[in-house]
A = this chain, B = another copy of it.
Amino acid sequence: MTRSMSSFDKAMALFGALVAQDGVFESDAMSVQLGVPESTLYRHLNALHSAGLICRSRRGRYLPNPVFLKKLEGYTPHAVLSELVRPFLDQLSVALETTTHFGLLENDMVTYLAKSVFEGEEVFTRENGQLEAYCSAIGKVLLSHMTVDERRAYISSGPFPKLTDKTITDPAAIERELHRTRNKGFGVDDGEVHNALYCIAVPVFSSRGIVVGAISSSSSQRWASPKEQRDRLIQLNGVAQSISSTLGAGA
């Protein structure tokens, strides 16, 4: 099923590597990094140039073409992501009979990009609103996928307000909770943000395993049984998978 790689994909891989390295192109290093012979790399470089994706600045330095960048000015990752994710959330909220969210981490807070309400159920979140990360289900998932350093920085950035009786506020306890979240593969908010709000969340990965965000199922009442929770998780993960695949391979 693995469709053969078009020349396109390889050249775009080079483009990705270039922008990630601030435009610096070292032929031999890149050659091993991408597994492509140098002569081919230069051909790709020229293809990217003549396609208007990159410009040559100094010798050995290639920058994204400003004319190309201008074309994309109207598109923000936020706006596009929320549009892409919305139909999946709608489908999920019908299937689970709960309100669903998609959110991502921004400045240590969770930003909710999209929300799909289940039949007039009242959930106080707002699209494009933010919530604390350490106590929300989506936040826990996203924090649990940070690098060690990032997480350490977050943990030591407290204090962590006690939003409800159940909120975990002790830094060490939060760290343990994040470890648990990472190991389980999903995050739980058991009334830790609000007395009448119970959520579970799972991560959404890009095809290369980078965490793009997380989706959650929120309800004003606790889930009835472990079995019900398990069922929700399966459906959540299925939709997360679907979102991953609409994001495509080159990410």
Contact = CB atoms under 8 A, between A and B. Distances in A.
A240 interface: no
Contacts of A76: 69
A248 B56 CA distance: 9
Given A52-B12, A248-B50, A249-B50, A69 B65 contact: no
A75 B12 contact: no
Interface string A76-99: 111011011001000000000000
A53 B109 CA distance: 28
Contacts of A64: 72, 75, 80
Contact of A12 (B7, B53, B249): B53
A47 interface: yes
Interface residues of A, number: 53
Contacts of A8: 7-8, 11, 47-48, 50-51
A70 interface: yes
B84 A80 contact: no
Interface string A165-208: 00000000000000000000000000000000000000000110
Contact of A66 (B9, B58, B65, B84): B84
B247 A67 contact: yes
A39 B47 CA distance: 23
A71 B58 CA distance: 21
A51 B250 contact: yes
Contacts of A7: 6-8
A83 B55 CA distance: 11
A153 interface: no
A16 interface: yes
A40 B211 CA distance: 33
Nearest to A75: B64
4 shortest interchain CB distances as A-B pairs: A52-B250, A67-B251, A12-B51, A66-B77
26 contacts: A7-B8, A8-B11, A9-B51, A11-B51, A12-B53, A16-B71, A20-B71, A49-B249, A52-B207, A55-B247, A55-B248, A56-B246, A57-B83, A57-B84, A63-B75, A64-B75, A66-B80, A66-B84, A67-B206, A67-B210, A67-B212, A67-B247, A68-B250, A69-B77, A69-B80, A72-B72
